[in-house]
Amino acid sequence: MSLVVVGSMAFDAIETPFGKSDKIVGGAGTYIAWCASNFTPVKQISIVGGDFPQSELDALTARNVNLEGVQIKKNEKTFFWSGRYHMDMNTRDTLETQLNVLENFQPVVPDSYQDCEYLMLGNLVPAVQTSVITQLKTRPKLIVMDTMNFWMEIAMDDLKKTISMVDVLMVNDSEARQLSGDFSLVRAAGTIMKMGPKYLIIKKGEHGALLFHEDKVFFAPALPLEDVFDPTGAGDTFAGGFMGHIAKTNDISFENMKTAIIVGSAMASFCVEKFGTERIRAVDKTEIDARLAEFVQLVNFDISLV
Ligand code: AMP
């Protein structure tokens, strides 16, 4: 099976209450690829400028991430984002978004990606996400989409069109409220699933994630961590773990999606331990298995109802 990932590849500048980074490599597509490649090979679609380090691209290639679908615009600049986290590390303000190469990005799906069975649309211009769906000659078994408030503010109509075409939508709690216009997440889920997706995942940062489908709901906690250093990319890493697991197991049942959101939560718990992609690019199978075992312990309990 083949997993195609679409998403921004970027430079980020991050401020948290505990530190500040210079311009470092980030981007939704970058985090997803680093994470998902732990589970299955990845075929990446994105765009970077001539300023994006070749060594970063080589490192992804060495991890079984195919970059044939990544355009390099030699005379242009890579997408840039900067953000500042609040004291709770759960909320942040975007300080600056420079679209640069993303502004006129026309994705081209290579022929060798036409075997795509699983499509992960990471955060990116909604029209670009739609273009990738329509370029695929056979509809993938599962299309999962992530997005953010930025696109709700500047491209809501395009965004709703993309949302109507996907199977699973992932957003955080404030984005679910913004998209639905409803404060109740349960009602918001109902409203959003009427827009098209059969499944909705609402990420709640350190408070875990909810998976909705029809009238069913499943909750996965986030691992309580002593130190959270930088939450940037946690949502993308979650997406990479979710989709990596689904593609590896080739099973799109609701039961397997429950496992996949635990895998996503476990992977996100690594991401936040260091700045940028540092932690997620270093993690190995032994560490992943140990952390999954911690999740089992976290939620395992007996009860006898009399
Ligand atoms: P997350 O913390 O998982 O929500 O994702 C953070 C990543 O999203 C950063 O590495 C940014 O480069 C990237 N990002 C921020 N804003 C956008 C945007 N408008 N479109 C695409 N990617 C973005």
Helix and strand tally (H, E) in the chain?
Answer: 10, 14
Q: Read off the pLDDT of residues 50-93 as tens digits, 9 standing for 90 and up.
A: 999 999 999 999 999 999 999 999 999 999 999 999 988 878 99
27 close to ligand 1 (CB < 6 Angstrom): yes
Task: Give the relative orientation of helices 254-271 and 28-36 as an angle to the nearest 10 degrees.
Answer: 110
Among candidate residues 185, 34, 47, 182, the one with its CA nearest the CA of residue 104: 47
Among protein residues, the one whose CA lies closest to atom 12 of ligand 1: 27
- Largest Cα separation within the chain, whole Å, is 71
Q: Tell me the angle at which helices 285-299 and 254-271 cross, rounded to the nearest 10 degrees.
A: 110
Atom of ligand 1 nearest to the CA of 125: 20
Atom 5 (ligand 1): residue with closest C-alpha?
233
- Asked whether 45 lines ligand 1 (CB < 6 A), one says no
Distance 187 CA to ligand 1 centre (A): 27
Residue nearest to atom 19 of ligand 1 (CA): 150
Q: Which structure tokens are listed for 115?
A: 């075997």
Closest CA to 2 of 97, 91, 66, 95: 66
Q: Which of 154, 161, 148, 149 is nearest to 195 (CA)?
A: 161
Beta bridge partners of 5: 44, 120
Tell me the pairing of strands 10-16 and 79-85. parallel
Residue 6 alpha carbon to ligand 1 centre in Å: 13
Ligand 1 mutation pick, 15, 35, 79, 90, max ligand atoms within 8 A of CB: 79
pLDDT of residue 228: 85
Q: Ligand 1 in contact with 150 (CB < 6 A)? A: yes
Q: Which of 79, 93, 120, 123 to mutate to test the pocket of ligand 1 (most atoms within 8 A of CB)?
A: 123
Residue 123 Cβ < 6 Å to ligand 1: yes
Strands (E), 184-305: 199-203, 209-213, 216-220
Q: How do the pLDDT tens digits run along the chain, 306 residues long?
A: 699 999 999 999 999 988 888 899 999 999 999 999 999 999 999 999 999 999 999 999 999 999 999 999 999 999 999 999 998 887 899 999 999 999 999 999 999 999 999 999 999 999 999 999 999 999 999 999 999 999 999 999 999 999 999 999 999 999 999 999 999 999 999 999 999 999 999 999 889 999 999 999 999 999 998 888 889 999 999 999 999 999 999 999 999 999 999 999 999 999 999 989 999 999 999 999 999 999 999 988 899 987
Whether ligand 1 lies within 6 angstroms of the CB of 170 is answered as: no
What is d(CA 153, CA 149) in angstroms, rounded to the nearest whole number? 6
**DSSP for residue 77:** P
Distance between CA atoms of 50 and 136, rounded to whole angstroms? 28
| Residue 96 Rama label (left phi>0; alpha psi -120 to 50; beta) | beta
Which uninterrupted H or E stretch holds 70? strand 65-73
24, 232, 270, 278: which to mutate for ligand 1, most atoms within 8 A of CB?
232
Domains of the chain: 3-299 (3.40.1190.20)
- In the reported structure, the alpha carbon of residue 297 is separated from the centroid of ligand 1 by a whole-number distance in angstroms of 32
193-220: per-residue pLDDT in tens? 999 999 999 999 889 999 999 999 999 9
Residue 10, beta-bridge partner list: 26, 79
How far apart (Å, rounded) are the C-alpha atoms in residues 30 and 300?
33
